């Protein structure tokens, strides 16, 4: 793999939204992430466990060795949202967006868009070209799919019944920098 990763790190950045972004998980984040993804009501217990494990793995081995990079958003109440992403082993410049979640009381006010844009900026700075994201095909996830589609992600493939009977996996992709799928990296202010 030829992905340079030096561009992935950066410090906290206070924003006009009332939250601060940071790239480095801290010891309280596994529990905070678990609380947050449970609070969304979107994820199965097995998925919640995986979300927590990704943070623990990144804390234990570091972002480079684990392959799990984060942008985390804090507000006065604690962790308000986060995104987890990393290079896909064996590819030249493709990245997976593993997870994105926003605390429900902060939903619909631009934080998810800001986190997605922050992840894409870090991926692009690291030489990433294609960002892949997987989600469910069920009706429950229709707003999530619309969220990706409105931010330049194209539905590339689906695997019916992947997660469970009637619950397929949808693969979305966004090509960074090339404007292959408009809009490119648009962020609502
Ligand atoms: C999807 C998610 C990260 C979006 O975060 P957000 O901060 O609410 O997003 P923003 O405020 O930046 O953007 C709102 C957009 O997301 C859409 N959206 C998707 N799910 C939503 C939700 N549960 N609540 C509010 N808006 C949601 C809205 O329709 C809106 O679309 P539009 O601006 O194109 O009209 C967040 O809703 C969430 O955590 N959902 C549950 C977990 C999830 O589905 N994660 C992805 C798993 S693959």
Residue 90 CA to residue 65 CA, distance in Å, equals 15
**CA 110/CA 126 separation, integer angstroms:** 24
Would the pLDDT of 3 be above 70? Answer: no
Q: Could you confirm whether domain 6-128 is CATH 2.60.120.10? A: no
- Which residue of 51, 107, 173 sits with most ligand 1 atoms within 8 Å of its CB, as the best mutation to test the pocket? 107
Q: What are 34-80's pLDDT values in tens digits? A: 999 999 999 999 999 999 999 999 999 999 999 999 999 999 999 99
**Looking at the predicted structure, is the pLDDT value of residue 179 above 90?**
no
**Token pair listed for 150:** 């409105």
**E strands within the chain?**
13-14, 20-22, 69-75, 78-87, 94-102, 130-136, 154-164, 167-175
Q: Is the pLDDT of residue 126 over 70?
A: yes
- Which protein residue has the closest C-alpha to ligand 1 atom 42? 101
Name every protein residue with a CB atom under 6 angstroms from any ligand 1 atom.
Answer: 40, 42, 100-102, 107-113, 135, 143-144, 146-147, 150
Which among 129, 68, 59 has a CA at the least distance from the CA of 94?
129
CA atoms within 13 A on the CB side of 137: 17
Q: Indicate the domain borders of the chain.
A: 6-128, 134-177
Rounded Cα distance between 107 and 70, Å, is 19
Please tell me whether residue 125 adopts helix, strand or coil conformation.
helix
Residue 177 banded pLDDT, cuts 50, 70, 90:
confident
C-beta of residue 129 within 8 angstroms of C-beta of residue 165? no
How far, in Å, are 83, 112, 113, 134, 167 from residue 139 at the CA level?
A: 23, 20, 21, 15, 9
Nearest alpha carbon, ligand 1 atom 29: 143
């Amino acid at each position: 793999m030829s992905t340079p990763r030096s561009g992935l790190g950066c410090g906290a950045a206070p924003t006009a939204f009332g939250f601060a972004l940071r790239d480095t998980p801290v010891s309280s984040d596994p529990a905070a992430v678990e609380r947050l993804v449970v609070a969304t009501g979107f994820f199965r217990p097995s998925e919640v466990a995986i979300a927590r494990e990704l943070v623990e793995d990144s804390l234990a081995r570091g972002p480079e060795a684990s392959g799990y990079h984060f942008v985390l958003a804090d507000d006065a109440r604690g962790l308000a949202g986060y995104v987890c992403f990393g290079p896909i082993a064996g590819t030249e410049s493709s990245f997976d967006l593993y997870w994105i979640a926003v605390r429900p009381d902060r939903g619909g006010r631009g934080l998810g868009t800001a986190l997605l844009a922050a992840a894409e900026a870090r991926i692009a700075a690291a030489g990433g070209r294609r960002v892949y994201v997987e989600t469910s095909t069920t009706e429950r996830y229709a707003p999530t799919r619309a969220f990706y589609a409105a931010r330049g992600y194209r539905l590339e493939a689906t695997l019916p019944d992947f997660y469970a009977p009637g619950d397929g996996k949808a693969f979305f992709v966004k090509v960074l920098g090339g404007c292959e799928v408009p809009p490119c990296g648009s962020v609502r202010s």
